[in-house]
Structure 1
């Protein structure tokens, strides 16, 4: 991927890598415009690692890249949710994902291209940072050096994982034999190495796991505050992501192995190691107090660091007081039924009574209730997801008793009177999958959860099931990549 123009040199790229300001709000529809922007730091390549502050700025810049509204700061989550059956589009606005909703997905779409560009920019920054750390290891405190390496590997793994889920066929269809992504593991300072063929899906996942395993060993056990524990990767963050990666690969035994590192054997389920992750008594707290131990990784937003216009989750979903009401919940089963009317999502459930609301005759998600400029933090990994990952794995290859207990822990937090006695393993697994749709609604999981199980996508926007053999099943690799990468 050519994220660099011909005028870019090594000194300039280090300046770019040093930026710790968020990309949201400066990421334009043209990547070259962004890359030509005047850097706010003038540190040269020779001095980029000379002070702790400059090294720290580079680490912060990794997170600043992925939290762009064009990537994990909003749009990625929205597009993955609205492709399926939970939401109905109100305004038919191409800028806010109507094309994804309708499965009219072209390789020259600006927003699709920005997913790719921002993802590979984050990967390149991670590669450059790792190379710089190795070249300047004598200048950096050994403990910090190890931690920084772990963070860079974590960000690279996280980014590749998000990209491979939407641009490649699911691992479970053929054990990862399908074409995946160009696997770029060296920092690029010019266009010389643009040509790179796609690795297989299996090879991409192998690299993701290699990075996460190394990151787990290198990352700190925790940080000095809840805010840092929520916004920067630590050991439990890498472990939590591994439970999702292994679940996506259908490797349930490994989900259990990793999950057991941060989930106690029995209820009440909490993390026995390092950060004491636990469910909050009231789920609404998670979306108002962003730094509880339930939030394992979130993208922080502030008035001076917002996702940018028409990227914010609240803008898309929340009907009041300032939301644009782009998408409302599918509450009328007319062929393709949404989760809102599922009997497991009862009217007594706090997730229904407290995190959705009727506005102007339609039902909206109100998890993200901030007002303009919509600075709700974007949740990427929550402890409730880890419990459900583990529940699904236990129900499939492990203890059905523990799987049921994990399911009930998540559900009873919001709906304590629900009674469920599964008649079979299949019924238990189905209930766990349904619980994911309830618990993680509007957090960017739905389409990826469908795809990881090799199922057709039930699309409201397309008015049909999208089978795995349909070209619309995955996003097309952007036209720009074909123009700059002759080996793709």
Structure 2
């Protein structure tokens, strides 16, 4: 039997057959044998394109639609995204903080599997591409993107399944298995420090390869700026402020912040001037009710959108300046929102995200924007005590969104709070809040806003450092891999 490049690496994880139609779906072929893929760079492009495609395809359940589903999970676990009703039950256990603490939950299993399969496919590329016949530029491009994907996947995994990185040192707590080759025997969990060491090496390798490669002409692909953006995210999580500021500044170079008109266009088009990385979806690749826009748009005619439109935390919304274009991304009373036929109007409901139409959930999914890089640079500068530099960077972004914004004269904690507020409203719904709370060791606090205790099952707060900030390792992995230790139950 041939080895197919979607073979899973982490200890047989969930026992996928090598001959089963699975992960690397690209048009029109579903999978590629490794001895065919890596003979030429032209064939090898199919492998990297397959990873891109995996970010927005549909898997087992409607809450398993690629990276878009993981973005929804991250914000459902925070305080800024508000469920307005139970809808048709998708993501309700996540909102209640029960899904990720149930080792048998299908969405928990998906969260683990999704990123490890990306790592598995990246490993096949990294370990085989050097022998492919073709241009050196193509080999560097393909390999650099694979390194970036592996770093990015590990960055996601370790934040879900491990205790947060402590910038003061140590970090001997259990992380996740580090896999740089695809093996069938069970691998133990590396320490958090070891995981970050490997992902930094991979990010550096990605930057080196992509610096000399020809730039891809499609934002579904990863270029050197995107790789530097991944490096900036890693550094921010590690509290390595100087590196975070440096790589964020380099990552955003050459990107233009969008106009206020573009800001209101639906966050669904990766040709937007400030998008750095996004999943571009065409009509032949629709994921129907699995799509990010089937849950987060205001206009697609799905049961979840009609009955459970997503809203912003009312306390957060009320702090946004009246002259800020972002104030227009939600409606206090539901007026002015394009809803599908029969759709409910709810207070503070979202109109930031628009699907292609009420009958099509197609839309490009934003994975990285230049605005995030401005916010990383500003936060890192502020945490280093470089208040003037932080205020300058913040001003460039904030005045673009709000012509009435005045450059901050705040310093210290006051300036940092202003930057973090801008981060919350700028990146709402794009999958950052759980990671932000966890990296800052901040408590969850949904009180005093429009969260319903009925819909949250009373889960309105979560103390910083509680064991519930860690996802449990899926039971299928525990059963298959005797080298893996479960998190505290």
Q: TM-score, normalised by structure 1?
A: 0.83
Structure 2 counterparts to residues 308-457 of structure 1, below 5 A: 308-309=288-289, 311-320=290-299, 322=301, 324-325=304-305, 326-332=308-314, 337=315, 339-341=316-318, 343=319, 345-354=320-329, 358=334, 360-370=345-355, 371=357, 372-419=359-406, 421-457=408-444
2:32 matches 1:37: no
Single out whichever of 285-294 and 446-455 deviates more from structure 2: 285-294
Q: Aligned-pair distance for 1:253?
A: 1.2
Q: Which runs of 5+ in 2 are unaligned?
A: 8-13, 59-63, 338-344, 485-489
- Out of 306, 319, 322, the residue aligned to residue 286 of structure 2 is 306
2:274 matches 1:294: yes
Q: Aligned-pair distance for 1:67?
A: 3.4
Look up the match of 1:49.
Answer: 38
Look up the match of 1:241.
Answer: 230
Count the aligned residue pairs.
Answer: 439
Look up the match of 2:241.
Answer: 252
Which whole-Å CA distance do the structure 1 matches of 2:214 and 2:266 have between them?
20
Which whole-Å CA distance do the structure 1 matches of 2:32 and 2:68 have between them?
31
2:97 matches 1:119: no
- Counterpart contact for 2:270–2:277, Cα < 8 Å: no
Which whole-Å CA distance do the structure 1 matches of 2:288 and 2:434 have between them?
24
Which whole-Å CA distance do the structure 2 matches of 1:124 and 1:201 have between them?
20
Q: Aligned-pair distance for 1:42?
A: 7.5
Change (3 A) 1:130 1:429: same
Change (3 A) 1:236 1:43: closer
Look up the match of 2:190.
Answer: 199
Q: TM-score, normalised by structure 2?
A: 0.82
- Counterpart contact for 1:313–1:368, Cα < 8 Å: no
SS, match of residue 298 in structure 1: strand
- Counterpart contact for 1:451–1:457, Cα < 8 Å: no
RMSD across aligned positions (CA): 2.6
2:252 matches 1:277: no
Q: Aligned-pair distance for 1:231?
A: 1.3
Change (3 A) 1:224 1:143: closer
SS, match of residue 175 in structure 2: strand
Q: Aligned-pair distance for 1:56?
A: 1.2
Which whole-Å CA distance do the structure 2 matches of 1:292 and 1:319 have between them?
20
Q: Which runs of 5+ in 1 are unaligned?
A: 1-8, 18-29, 264-270
Which whole-Å CA distance do the structure 2 matches of 1:155 and 1:84 have between them?
25
Q: Deviations over 1:336-384 (max 9, x none)?
A: x4x212x2x1233211215657252322222220134322211111000
Which whole-Å CA distance do the structure 2 matches of 1:464 and 1:144 have between them?
50
Q: Deviations over 1:245-285 (max 9, x none)?
A: 1011111011122234345xxxxxxx1xxxx2121222235
Structure 2 counterparts to residues 61-140 of structure 1, below 5 A: 61-68=50-57, 70=64, 72-92=66-86, 96-105=90-99, 106-134=102-130, 136-137=131-132, 139-140=133-134
SS, match of residue 231 in structure 1: coil
Single out whichever of 120-129 and 44-53 deviates more from structure 2: 44-53
